[in-house]
Structures are given as structure tokens and as C-alpha cells.
Amino acid sequence: MDNDTITAPATFPSLSAIGVIRISGGKTRGIMSSIFTLKNGKKPDFPHRSSVRGLIAGSSGIIDEAVAVFYESPRSYTGEDMAEISCHGNPFIVSAITSLICSKGGRIASPGEFTKRAFLNGKMDLSAAEAVKDIISAENKTALKLALSQLLGSENRAVSALREKLLSLMSEISAAIEFPEDAAAETGSFAPASAMDDLRERLLVLADIAGRGAMLKNGIRTVIIGRPNSGKSSLLNALAGTQRAIVTPSPGTTRDIIEVPVEIDGLPFKLVDTAGIRESSDAAEIEGVRLAKKAAAEADIALVLIDAGSSIDTEHNSALFNLADSRRSIAVVNKTDLNPAFNPKDIEKLAGFSGPVALVSALKKTGLDSLTNTIKSIIMGTDAAFPVNDIVITNLRHKEALLKAAQSLGSAVTALKNSAPVEPQLELVFADLKEAASFLGEITGAITDENLLEKIFADFCIGK
Ligand SMILES: Nc1nc2c(ncn2[C@@H]2O[C@H](COP(=O)(O)OP(=O)(O)OP(=O)(O)O)[C@@H](O)[C@H]2O)c(=O)[nH]1
Ligand SMILES: [Mg+2]
């Protein structure tokens, strides 16, 4: 690992009480001593862990009065010699100090480089390092809670436990390869087959949890689509409890996508209002409809709004239901305060949709609780309580790795079953298990490759 000395502001460049600059690497102590002067005119020598207050000066004079904390390797965030300078929070001062450090032999850190060094120096596993990024970017309380638990190792424990099981299966198989006589006695009901199946199941459960976790991290993306004037913007406002979207009696009011993050019953949602879908010759409306269709396709949940007061255009409504994943769609019959133009029980017949139907009035704010409960049951299955505490993974990269590991285990089981009882092809089985173990290793960082690391840390902010 290159142990050059890196530096970067750790705080946002804006006028604020304090600005923090980080520095990490072998030259930290030397650079700090050279730029700092104590009030008594002496240069500080920064013993193992120390904090000093003094003046920072470059060739053109004093830059600021500041406080610096020095952390000696290996007891620092990165595991290297490291310091944090707290100066006055003016971007000019922060930038002057950072430049001064660079002129003394440091260089500006790339995004996530401090945390990458922490990972490479064994200060944290990869899943914890990724949690650091999630903590910084968490947009809701649930996301923050999940990221903190990931940082504290909940994900690592879950994945490592499964990886341990996998490794012990591998040693059983390799013993069977070495001593075929013993294994042959057991063929037919070769014990590892069911253990592998069981492990595969558990990986799939974890992958499913990861999918739900990712949804919670970003807010459950709930997209409202429907014909113009069906009350989409009214429903968004009613659910959000604020007048976020314009509502008028004329169809074609909403053109842009409007996203509103809200917490409902302790769950994070991202409500998305869209343009009413219809044929149009107006360029802005055509673009609005295109965006609405795209949003529907990307929805975690699609609320397909139908106006209870208008007769149903079967063809149009079936087309609406085809825009989103039908397993994640709800037919929402709005304006139930008006005289109904059709019987909601006939939705399946009228619009070809056999999923859940919710009856609401966005105007009178009725039926909203039952609608949110229906959304929850789609997201969380039939679990009565929302198992946020069981969610140990929220990262889609990790979900992919779990699915790939499950797939490798699946082929191991097939190889074992197909070849038994004649002569199990244990080498093939072993290779599949090894592949599965390496996918799991990619989650915690037990196995890494430089490209993967680069991709992960590139999303960090500078200074972290
Ligand atoms: N009676 C009644 N009127 C409603 C209800 N919800 C919305 N409306 C009315 O329907 C009209 C259209 O509402 P919007 O919320 O703007 O409808 P929209 O689907 O967003 O319309 P576009 O943006 O044009 O596609 C307004 O006059 C609303 O007051 C409801 O539950 N009951
Ligand atoms: Mg609207």
C-alpha cells in the first residue's frame, strides 16, 4: 500500500464555526510540527496522542489560530499517523491550510481514501466501511439506524457466520476427496447435500432482506400514476400531510415528477407524483407522460389511481396496470366521496388487475391508513410487526453477492445429487463451494480485488 500522506477538508466548504482538515500518512507528524507554532513560540513535537493549540503559518504569514489533535499509528481511524486540525470555518482558511500541507509533502486525498486506508489497515471490514458512507448520506432515520447497525458489525456477523459454515462444508468435501472410501460408504445420503441446501436457503433469505433493506434506505419509492384529474396530486398531498403538489380542477396540471420524502408509521417513504397519462400533442405534457411511465417502471410500489366518479375506460386502465410490476401495484379507487360510476369489486373485470384494491378519498382524507397498511404488507410480506431490527443488509451490491453465492451453492447441490450415488464428482462440488465462499468474502472484504475497492470508495465524499 502506498503510504504517502493525504489531506482533505472533512467539513463542507461553507462559512461555519469550525472547519476540520484531516491528514494521514507517514509524514503527518513532521508536517504538523512544521506548520504549527505554540503560543510560546516553540514547535510542538506531537507525542503519541496529543492535542495542541497554536498558530498555523506558511511562507506568507499566519493563516489561523487552530487546535490540532494527533493520533499515533496504529491507534487512529486509518491506522496510520493521523491528525485533525480544527480551524475557523472559513473556506479560505481551510483551503489555505490544505494547500500548506500539500506544499510540505502531503497530497489531496481521493474520495473515501481515509476509509479505504482504514479498511486496508484492518481497522474495519468492508461492510463497515460502506456503512460509513451510508451514515453520511442517510436520508431518513431508518436508513441511519440500519447504517449504524451495519457499522457496528451486524451484517458482518450474519454473513461471516454463513461463510464459516460454507468453509466447514468445504473441508468436509475435501476430506471426502482425499479419503473416498469413507465418503463412498455415505453416498446416496451424503450428509453435506442437505446442509448445502439449508445454507442456500439462508443466503436467499438474507438476499431478500437486503432487497427490503435497500428499499428502506432510500425510502419506499411509492409512485402515483393514473389518468389526468384522477386526484394523484391530491393523494400525494394527503399522504404527505402538506400541500406539495399543485391541485386544480383541470386535467394536465402536473407535468414534472414531484418527489416528497415522508415518514408514515415510522417507515420512510418517497412519494412520487406524476403527470396524468394520456395522449397529448403538447410537448411538455408528452415529456411528463414519458417520465411518469419511467417512474412507474422503477417504482417499489405503484399506486394506480382510478377516479370513482368517472366510468372506467377498460383499455386505458389495463394499460396503466401494465406500466408497473403487478406484484407491487395497488388499484387505488379515489373520490369515493362521490357517487360511484362503477363497483370497485369489478376492477378485475374492468381493468384486468387482480391485486389489492384500496378505496380512498384524497379530498376527505379517508381510507389512507388502510392504503398504507396494504403498501406495508406488500413490502414486508405478511409479517405482523415490521422487522426493521432483522434487517442487517441494505446494500444492493451485497444482495447481488448473496444471490451469486446461493447460485453457486445450487450448482454444488445439483452436482452432488446428479453424480451420487455412483461416484459423486466432489471436485466439481468443491469448486462451486469455493466460488460461493469467494462471493461472500467480497461482502465483508475477506476477499477483495482492486477494481471492486475502487468502485466502492469512489462514491465516498472527499475527507472521509
Ligand atoms: N370529490 C373529490 N374530488 C377530488 C378528490 N381528489 C381530488 N379531487 C379533485 O380532483 C381534481 C383533480 O385533482 P388533482 O389532484 O389535481 O388530480 P391529478 O390526478 O393530480 O391531475 P393531473 O395532475 O392533471 O393529472 C381537483 O379538483 C381535486 O380537488 C376526492 O377524493 N374527491
Ligand atoms: Mg397532478
Please report which residue ranges of 36-112 form alpha helices under DSSP H. Answer: 91-103
User: What is the pLDDT, as a whole number, of residue 21?
Assistant: 96
* Ligand 1 pocket check for 276: Cβ under 6 Å: yes
CATH of the domain at 292: 3.40.50.300
Per-chain mean pLDDT for the chain:
88
Say how far apart CA 402 and CA 399 lie, in whole Å.
5
How far, in Å, are 196, 230, 347, 412, 418 from residue 408 at the CA level?
Answer: 10, 48, 43, 6, 15
Flag whether 285 is in a domain.
Answer: yes
Pocket test for ligand 1, best of 225, 229, 237, 273 (most atoms within 8 A of CB): 229
* Ligand 1 pocket check for 254: Cβ under 6 Å: yes
Pocket test for ligand 1, best of 232, 234, 256, 289 (most atoms within 8 A of CB): 234
Of 377, 412, 432, the residue at which a domain comes to its end is 377
Does pLDDT of 444 surpass 70?
yes
- Which cell goes with 279? 395522449
Note the pLDDT tens digit of each residue in 291-322. 999 999 999 999 999 999 998 888 888 889 99
Q: Which amino acid is at 383?
A: D
For 108, phi then psi, to 5°, come to -65, 130
Please report which residue ranges of 220-326 form alpha helices under DSSP H. Answer: 232-240, 283-297, 314-321
* Buried-state track 77-108, b at ≥16 Cβ within 10 A, e below 16: bbbbbbbbbbbbbeeebbebbbebbeebebee
Of 99, 120, 141, the residue at which a domain comes to its end is 120
Flag whether 216 is in a domain.
Answer: no
User: What is the pLDDT, as a whole number, of residue 216?
Assistant: 84
Of 377, 406, 439, the residue at which a domain comes to its end is 377
Say how far apart CA 164 and CA 74 lie, in whole Å.
28
* Ligand 1 pocket check for 244: Cβ under 6 Å: no
Count of other CB atoms within 10 angstroms of residue 194: 11
pLDDT tier, 391 (very low <50, low <70, confident <90, very high otherwise): confident
Cα(272) to centroid of ligand 1, in Å? 16
Note the pLDDT tens digit of each residue in 89-110. 999 999 999 999 999 999 999 9
User: What is the pLDDT, as a whole number, of residue 236?
Assistant: 98
Query: How many domains in the chain?
Result: 2
* Ligand 1 pocket check for 233: Cβ under 6 Å: yes
Cα(230) to centroid of ligand 1, in Å? 5
How far, in Å, are 91, 122, 177, 427 from residue 391 at the CA level?
Answer: 40, 25, 38, 35
At what angle are helices 154-178 and 192-218 packed, to 10 degrees? 160
Closest ligand to residue 276's CA: 1
User: What is the pLDDT, as a whole number, of residue 17?
Assistant: 92
Flag whether 392 is in a domain.
Answer: no
Closest CA to 430 of 77, 169, 250: 169
Window from 4-8, 174-178, 257-261 with minimum mean pLDDT: 174-178
Q: Mean pLDDT, to the nearest integer, of 265-292?
A: 93
Flag whether 162 is in a domain.
Answer: no
User: What is the pLDDT, as a whole number, of residue 283?
Assistant: 94
For 53, phi then psi, to 5°, come to -125, 135
Count of other CB atoms within 10 angstroms of residue 47: 9
Domain limits at 91? Answer: 6-120
Residues 235 and 345 in one domain: yes
Q: Are 308 and 344 in contact (CB under 8 A)?
A: yes
